[in-house]
Amino acid sequence: MSSLALVTGASRGIGAATAVALQPHYRLLLGGRDASALEKQAAELRDARPWPVELTDFAALAEAAAGIDRLDVLVHSAGVAELGTVEEAPSDAWRRDYEVNVLAVVELTRLLLPALRAARGHVVVINSGAGMNAKAGWGPYAASKFAARAFADTLRLEEEPHGVRVTSVFPGRTATEMQEAVTAAEGTEYRPEEYLRPESVAAAVLGAVTATPDAHPTEVVVRPRRR
């Protein structure tokens, strides 16, 4: 098995679960900043290596991507969720959401396009329900996720002729550290039993990247099932 997948945000949450779901099918590069979490995660997987890099440091990103000349799957799961109303959110909140959720996604994809084309590969962008519907108090995050959706749509139009598939996955609330922080910021209770499990989002990613070659799963929406 020589197919290679790179998953950003693989140190925890949805990215970590995605790495686990992909491991039977791919060799893995695990993106993140927490080197010890990545080492631990890699040790638990069959054929995985840490790929530690600060995604907003484009010089470091170019260096980290330099050795990759063939890539079957690129999953952008790394993300941040700075919330706040237009009245109150500082410009830094908008900037941080854009830097990680949009600009880093664009730059890493750009750097890896030759490798993705070489493998007729697949790019998965973990978006959000907030990338489909804006919500009061969520402006910085929603705007970044709307932009990430437009990026994925553009990339699909441009790269499908080169054999590259592009899928946006739109999860609802998922039980991760990000959701814990989001509920704390909203002043609501964290109720993991009501949210998606990260493994459920990972299953949607696996379904997309293992789709039959004639199929192009363009968008996958996953909501928590009402119980």
Ligand X SMILES: NC(=O)c1ccc[n+]([C@@H]2O[C@H](COP(=O)([O-])OP(=O)(O)OC[C@H]3O[C@@H](n4cnc5c(N)ncnc54)[C@H](OP(=O)(O)O)[C@@H]3O)[C@@H](O)[C@H]2O)c1
Nearest residue (CB) to ligand X, 71 versus 128: 128
CA atoms lying within 13 Å on the CB side of residue 123: 31
Cα–Cα nearest to 8, from 23, 29, 25, 37: 29
- Does 173 interact with ligand X (rule: CB under 6 A)? yes
Annotation says 141 is catalytic:
yes
Pick one of 13, 121, 140, 217: the residue that binds ligand X (CB under 6 A).
Answer: 13
Nearest residue (CB) to ligand X, 81 versus 208: 81
CA 20, CA 15: separation in Å to the nearest integer? 9
Pick one of 159, 179, 204, 206: the residue that binds ligand X (CB under 6 A).
Answer: 179
Question: Order of strands, edge to edge, in the sheet holding 48-52?
Answer: 48-52, 27-32, 4-7, 73-76, 122-126, 165-171, 219-222
Within 28-87, the residues that bind ligand X by CB under 6 A are 32-34, 37, 54-56, 77-81
Minimum distance of ligand X from residue 39's CB (angstroms): 11
Q: In this structure, are residues 48 and 31 in contact, taking their beta carbons and an 8 Å threshold?
A: no
Q: In this structure, are residues 203 and 215 in contact, taking their beta carbons and an 8 Å threshold?
A: no
Q: In this structure, are residues 185 and 139 in contact, taking their beta carbons and an 8 Å threshold?
A: no
- Does 9 interact with ligand X (rule: CB under 6 A)? yes
Minimum distance of ligand X from residue 14's CB (angstroms): 4
The footprint of ligand X (CB under 6 A) covers: 9, 11-15, 32-34, 37, 54-56, 77-81, 100, 126, 128, 171, 173-174, 176-179
Q: Which residues are catalytic?
A: 141, 145
